[in-house]
A and B are shown apart, each in its own frame.
Chain A
Amino acid sequence: MADMAKFEEEVNKLRTLEKDREKYFTSRQEMEMRLTESKNVKAELDLMESDSKVYKLIGAVLVRQDLEEARSTVEKRLEFIDSETKRVEASISDISKKCTEQRDKVMNMQKSFQMMAQAAAQAQKK
C-alpha cells in the first residue's frame, strides 16, 4: 500500500514535468513566430531610402518614427529574441532529460509490481 502511494507520487511528478515541458515548447513556438515577423520587418526597413517616412502602430494610432530609431529598435528586438530562444532551448533539453529519467523510474516501478504480482500468482498455483 505504501508502495502504491509512492508509485502514484512518482507518476504525478512525471505528469508535472511533462506539463512544464509543453509550456516550454509553446514558448519556443511563440518566439519563432516573433523571430520570423521581426526578420521580415528588418528586411523591409533595410530596403528603405534614408528619407522614407516610417510609422509605428500603437493601438489605433500611427506615430511617425525616425527610420534609424526604427532600425535600431528592431535590431535590439532580434537580439532579445535570440537570447530568449537560447534560454528556452536550454530549459527544454534540461527538462527533457528529467522527463526521460522520471519515465524510466516509473517504468521500473511498474515492472517490479508486475513481477511481484506474477510471483504471487505462482505461489497461489501451488
Chain B
Amino acid sequence: MPEHTKVSAEDQALLNKFARSYQTQTQLKADVKEAKTLIDNINEASDEILLLDDEDSASIPCRIGSCFVHFNGDSLNEHLEGKKTTAEKVLSEKTSELDAISADMEQIKKVLYAKFGDQINLDAEE
C-alpha cells in the first residue's frame, strides 16, 4: 500500500472549487446547447416562411408566451431577426464563460494531479 499523500486545507479548497466549477460548467453547456437550438429553429422557420405564398404569408401564427399571435411575413421576419440577435448574444456570452471556466478547471486539475497522481480521479466518466 503506497503511502497516502497528506491532504492540506488548500488542497481541499481546490477540490471544492473544482466541484463547484464542474457543476457550473455542466449548466453552461446546457445553456449553450439551448441557445444553438433556438438559433437553428429561427433559421429554419425563416427559410420556411420565404416559401409561403401570398395568401398564407398574410397571417402566420407565432407563439409568444402561451399565446399564438398572427403576424404577416415581413413583421414576423423582423420579430425573428430580433430574437436571433438576442440568442446570438447570449450564445457568445455563455461560450466565453464556458471557455473561461474550462481553462480554470484544467489549471486546478494540473495542480491536483501533480500532487496526488492516480490517487484521485477528476475526469468525467465518458
Contacts and interface: CB of A to CB of B under 8 A. Distances in A.
Interface of A: 19, 55-56, 58-64
B123 interface: no
Given A19-B126, A55-B61, A61 B45 contact: yes
Contact residues on B (Cβ < 8 Å of other chain), bracket = 10 to 19
A61 B126 contact: no
Contacts of B68: 62
A59 B56 contact: no
Interface of B: 38, 41-42, 44-45, 48-49, 52, 56, 60-64, 68, 76, 80, 83, 126
Contacts of B60: 61-64
A59 B79 CA distance: 13
10 contacts: A19-B126, A58-B41, A59-B42, A60-B62, A60-B83, A61-B45, A61-B76, A62-B63, A63-B45, A63-B48
B62 A62 contact: yes
